[in-house]
Structure 1
Amino acid sequence: MRPLVSKLVAAAALASAAVLPAGVVKAEYPTKPIEWIIMWSAGGGADTATRIFTKYFEKELGQTVVVRNVTGASGTVGYLTAKAARPDGYTVVSALSDLPKYKPLGTKGIEVDDFDIIGSFAVESPILVARADSDIHSLEDFIEKAKANPGEVTVGVSNIGGVHHQPVVLLEEAAGIDAPVIAHDGSPQMNAALLGGHVDIISSWVKQSLSNVQAGDMNYIAYFGAERLEAFPDVPTAKELGYDIVWEHSYGLGAPKGIPEEAKEKLLAAMKKVWANPDFAADMRKVGLTLHTRGPEYYDELKATEKAMDHVVELMNQ
């Protein structure tokens, strides 16, 4: 009878394994490398922040994280690629605070609720940059020039409706100016346009313009953060100059909707360990980033931004 009993036990085990729901993560997750999709180009703000984070994150997770830049169509290609991936915990995506822009802008198929939001890890604000040899040395110079030349003084941004564009729209409203924006496919192109005299200023990130500033070719003229940057204490915020604009851009982690709870828990647990690492915080500060430690509540922040974007979109459409 023992052989028969053994066969029955083995058959029962196979049957129970066969009916496990699809997508269930085994206890040893992750058992293979995880792909992390970034929707912006290499060297940009999202890429820089994500690669710094993943250097620490994969150590805490105990598994390799492979970063993949999937660019195009103002970030939509990357988000759609991630959305379409199997929700098994082995494909994740940069959940940025530009994710809420797509629904208000009328982009089909992309909104905050299409993803499981795990948490966030960093935040930064756009900074206005001028060519060092131009006649714009401050935010006041820019506004005066724009008022004297309506529709002629231009601002370079990474993409229409994106995080660099959004505070510029609010600044135009607050200052009563008309300064056309010109979109570029990433920070390197914006820098080239500014240095080549094709735009008057750009709305960029600290890190993406830092080498040009250090070389004496560019100057920071105003920052859209809540406080002055620790690394650049002489650069005023737009708010202290009389424009009530604080625009922050956060970087976080998301996944295709419906990943297993076990995967969510392990991804968040690894993220929390990275938050507590002082070396990670130091690396963030070097490129103008600060910690943004939100867990699942990061979803609520993104949904609030999605609602706030309605006003920005109205201004863009005027």
Structure 2
Amino acid sequence: MPAHYFKYATLGLALLGTTTGAVASDADDFPSKPIQFLVAAGAGGGTDNFARVVRPMFEEAIGGARITVVNLPAASGALAHQRTANGEPDGHTLDFASTTLVTSLAAGQNPVGLDQLTPVARMQSDVMALFVNPERFEDFDAFKTYAEENPGKVTVGGTHTASPDHMAFLSLVDASGLDMNFIPYDSTGNATANVLGGNIDATTTSLSPLLSYIDAGQMAPILVFSDERLEDYPDVPTTVDNGWELTDGNDRAIFVHADTPALIVARLEDAFKTVFDSEDYQAYAERVNLDYRDGWMGGDEYRQRLESNYELYTRLLEND
């Protein structure tokens, strides 16, 4: 074998060792400056509350870095995704996003693809459900019978088009074959008010925002998007009970620039897992009823889930 081969091979190994050492050094020194939590939602919502509750826990887990929270709700959070994808790939800019990241991508509303962001971890998965006024429908069988007898006349509300609420509706229609229409509202509160007022027949949304209505007997979940029945609602059937593999919830997760070194991503994931396992975080999750199912999912596994959901949501929107 020519001598110059060994020369360049040796040089290549030396450069590889230098590069690997530099990345390892960067990871060892991380964080080296203040960290930004970019929240792809407005102040006071579920994603914002999640980021602000996690901040002091994460500061401790990561070693005392100073963290600021910045809300960027414009364009369904797309501005937060753009700023993360266009920033430095050094792990100091974290994108806190909900399922709206992938639903808006499927709808063509979000210019930042999954090739531009790397998921660090999912920490929450709020269970979706179909809700009705219990004075109108006793259970899902009654609702389903009514929908079958009145094709095209049943209306289901939720937050804006291409939201997790809308995707839950489209998934249900796709699986069940029921002929129903979706009415978008600017908030969960408005959709709920229209169910209570009899203007629409039902709403698809996550459980946690409607717990006070459920406790007051004004609204009732009649179908939950879950593989198992929930302990608090043992009589409410699941989508899987009906033979429909619809279990996606409204997730909340953390993303970084796609070119962030793997060792730094791993450091971030470990820190968030420490937060997730802490007594303080679990007490918070229980307090806001985000403990119906395990919210944790590591970055690699969550990427697979996102890619699968992107394909599903794209097909559902194209057929809508």
CA distance in 1, matches of 2:173, 2:279: 39
2:310 corresponds to:
306
CA distance in 1, matches of 2:276, 2:198: 41
CA distance in 2, matches of 1:41, 1:148: 41
Superposition TM-score, scaled by structure 1 size: 0.79
Q: Which stretch has the larger CA shift, 197-206 or 35-44?
A: 35-44
Report the 3-state secondary structure (helix = DSSP H, G, I; strand = E; otherwise coil) of the residue aligned with 1:270. helix
For the structure 1 residues 192 and 64, does the alpha-carbon distance in structure 2 shift closer, same or farther, using more than 3 Å as the test? farther
Instruction: Determine which of 98, 101, 111 is the counterpart of 1:99.
Output: 101
Output aligned runs, 1:222-261, within 5 Å: 222-260=223-261
1:293 corresponds to:
297
Output aligned runs, 1:131-150, within 5 Å: 131-133=133-135, 135-150=136-151
1:109 corresponds to:
111
2:16 corresponds to:
none
Deviations 1:235-269 (A, max 9, x none): 22122145443223432210233335564243222
1:5 corresponds to:
none
Report the 3-state secondary structure (helix = DSSP H, G, I; strand = E; otherwise coil) of the residue aligned with 2:234. coil
Q: CA deviation at 1:111?
A: 1.4
Amino acid at match of 1:293: M
Deviations 1:92-148 (A, max 9, x none): 112444433344433462211111221222223211112244x12322222222233
CA distance in 1, matches of 2:138, 2:71: 35
CA contact (8 A) 1:99 1:111 kept: no
Instruction: Determine which of 78, 81, 95 is the counterpart of 1:79.
Output: 81
> In the alignment, does 2:47 pair up with 1:46?
yes
Give the structure with the larger helix fraction: 2
Aligned residues: 293
Report the 3-state secondary structure (helix = DSSP H, G, I; strand = E; otherwise coil) of the residue aligned with 2:200. coil
Deviations 1:50-82 (A, max 9, x none): 444445323312234433332233343443343
CA distance in 1, matches of 2:301, 2:47: 20
CA contact (8 A) 1:155 1:202 kept: yes
1:177 corresponds to:
178
Amino acid at match of 2:315: H
CA distance in 2, matches of 1:241, 1:154: 21
2:274 corresponds to:
273
Q: CA deviation at 1:48?
A: 4.4
2:206 corresponds to:
205
For structure 1, the 5+ residue unaligned runs are: 1-20
Amino acid at match of 2:142: D
CA RMSD of aligned residues (A): 2.9
Q: Which stretch has the larger CA shift, 275-284 or 217-226?
A: 275-284
Q: CA deviation at 1:303?
A: 2.0
For the structure 1 residues 113 and 139, does the alpha-carbon distance in structure 2 shift closer, same or farther, using more than 3 Å as the test? same
1:89 corresponds to:
91
Report the 3-state secondary structure (helix = DSSP H, G, I; strand = E; otherwise coil) of the residue aligned with 2:254. strand
For the structure 1 residues 48 and 199, does the alpha-carbon distance in structure 2 shift closer, same or farther, using more than 3 Å as the test? farther
Report the 3-state secondary structure (helix = DSSP H, G, I; strand = E; otherwise coil) of the residue aligned with 2:122. strand
CA contact (8 A) 1:43 1:208 kept: no
For the structure 1 residues 218 and 95, does the alpha-carbon distance in structure 2 shift closer, same or farther, using more than 3 Å as the test? same
Q: Which stretch has the larger CA shift, 291-300 or 39-48?
A: 39-48
For the structure 1 residues 59 and 197, does the alpha-carbon distance in structure 2 shift closer, same or farther, using more than 3 Å as the test? farther
> In the alignment, does 2:288 pair up with 1:284?
no
Report the 3-state secondary structure (helix = DSSP H, G, I; strand = E; otherwise coil) of the residue aligned with 2:120. strand
For structure 2, the 5+ residue unaligned runs are: 1-21
Deviations 1:205-244 (A, max 9, x none): 1111111212222111110011122333332212214544
For the structure 1 residues 46 and 143, does the alpha-carbon distance in structure 2 shift closer, same or farther, using more than 3 Å as the test? farther
Amino acid at match of 2:118: D
CA distance in 2, matches of 1:241, 1:131: 21
Q: CA deviation at 1:270?
A: 0.9
CA contact (8 A) 2:105 2:113 kept: yes
For the structure 1 residues 243 and 108, does the alpha-carbon distance in structure 2 shift closer, same or farther, using more than 3 Å as the test? closer
Superposition TM-score, scaled by structure 2 size: 0.78
CA contact (8 A) 1:250 1:292 kept: no
Q: CA deviation at 1:27?
A: 5.0
Q: CA deviation at 1:282?
A: 4.0
Deviations 1:139-185 (A, max 9, x none): 22222222333333211122222222223212223333222112223
